[in-house]
Copies of this chain bind each other. A is one copy, B any other.
Amino acid sequence: MIKVDLQYSGLEKNDLNETKVKDIHKMIINKTGKGNDFLGWLEWPKTFDKNEYEKMKKAASSLRDKIDVLVVVGIGGSYLGIRAADEMIRGINNFDKIKIVYAGHTMSSTYVAQLSKYLKNKKFGICVISKSGTTTEPGLAFRTLEQQLNEQVGIEKSKDLIVAITDKSKGALKTLADNKGYLTFVIPDNIGGRFSVLTPVGIFPLLVAGVNTDKIFTGAIKAMNNLVQDNLTNEAYKYAAARNALYNKGYKAEALVSYELQMQYINEWWKQLFGESEGKDGKGLYPTSMIFSTDLHSLGQWVQQGTRGVLFESVIKIVEPVNDMKITKDKDDLDGLNYLVGKTFHEINSTAIEGVIDAHVNSGKMPNIILEFEKMDEEMLGYLVYFFELAVAMSGYLLEVNPFDQPGVEIYKYNMFKLLGKPGVK
């Protein structure tokens, strides 16, 4: 469950446009708004192909036995959701057999060369994710790493170590995988990249990582069942309406704040979801993020006393910790911290949240939206993915843009292709 608390937002009931929310709700469920051919994620947690899911489980289990490192090759929606889910659920220093590393999300030669060297003595597999198979970054990385794997284990064995997540029937990657005998799973046509975490894009790598994906779907279905109201009692809509109201009051940027390091890529995933869905037609909040208390010691000064009226915070409070530790007594107490003995790290972290909200809201006049999460586990991941997807649909329509396209991403690509002399580009 996610609860949205607006008591520190500075907003009043009248600031939230409930009438418009009700109209848009109809537009979403009846699929009559802009971009409505990309609403597949709306029923996905209940309607996804159970046969394919069973096949994925088998394939992942078999791959898991053969490797120590899984290289996920993808960019944007084929990268951020996987990393977000993996780090939130398994943590940063996890002890699972499988380590996930990423490629195809950069053209840095230094990164690719170091990764290639790192993989030299490793038993590794590749999960390459691309709808088309012709995107430059993942295309170049896959070409390089596929060749390395062939050299390390031979072409025959490689076939069992490479899995492609791609279009069901067309595109370069589908053709390539079929020709070479790689297993493939399907990216649905009606779900855009940034909405694809719960499709094979996210689920297959997470299965290889040993994550309990059944529970992810349990959480997503809970969200589907909870978030059905057409009004502001729907917590996803409440969040969307609140951020839209702050935008209308002149705020230009929203920082998603968390107090857990392993939520960093949830922040990054959220940035794509909201930035790419809303940043068009000269509109939209700039999505940014911070991890506290870490960043209180860097950006905290600006947040407390810098320029006002530009940024607001949306703060994730996590009720229950995954692990906890008590503060132990020190006989000399030179650091003066014995007054905390008996308390746990999580209790202190939670107290910090209260103190910071008070400081930022009351002294700093910085609006805060509070998002209360239960725990960092599989179920919560499923829930939050659905929650934010529904919220961004509402939020994008409130802004009167198409939340499901990304026309601006093509402009730099066109320039780059022209400079690189890509055939057919003039």
A residues at B contact (CB < 8 Å): 75-77, 79-80, 91-95, 101, 105-118, 133-134, 136-137, 139-140, 142-144, 147, 172-173, 175-176, 179, 194, 252-253, 259-262, 268, 271-272, 275-276, 278-288, 291, 293-308, 310-311, 321-325, 327-328, 330, 332, 334-337, 339-340, 343-346, 348-349, 351-352, 354-356, 358-360, 363-364, 376, 406-409, 411-423
In the complex, A142→B335 CA distance in Å? Answer: 10
B144 touches A325 (CB 8 A): yes
Rounded to whole Å, the gap between the CB of A380 and the closest CB of chain B is 13
CB-CB under 8 A for A360 and B298, given A253-B310, A306-B282, A334-B172: no
CB-CB under 8 A for A301 and B280, given A93-B115, A307-B252, A336-B172: yes
For A304, what are the chain B residues with a Cβ–Cβ distance below 8 Å? 279, 408-409, 411-412
Neighbour of A110 across the interface among B323, B334, B420, CB < 8 A: B323
What are some 30 contacts across the A-B interface (CB < 8 A)?
A75-B293, A106-B261, A106-B294, A108-B261, A109-B344, A111-B262, A114-B323, A136-B348, A176-B334, A179-B332, A194-B298, A252-B253, A252-B310, A275-B298, A275-B306, A276-B299, A276-B300, A278-B306, A279-B301, A280-B301, A282-B305, A282-B306, A283-B307, A285-B307, A286-B311, A340-B420, A354-B415, A355-B412, A356-B415, A359-B412
Could you tell me the dominant secondary structure of chain A's interface residues?
helix
A305 touches B280 (CB 8 A): yes
A301 touches B324 (CB 8 A): no
In the complex, A35→B180 CA distance in Å? Answer: 66
In the complex, A291→B265 CA distance in Å? Answer: 14
Rounded to whole Å, the gap between the CB of A411 and the closest CB of chain B is 4
B109 touches A325 (CB 8 A): yes
For A364, what are the chain B residues with a Cβ–Cβ distance below 8 Å? 408, 411
Rounded to whole Å, the gap between the CB of A179 and the closest CB of chain B is 7
For A118, what are the chain B residues with a Cβ–Cβ distance below 8 Å? 93, 95
A116 touches B409 (CB 8 A): no
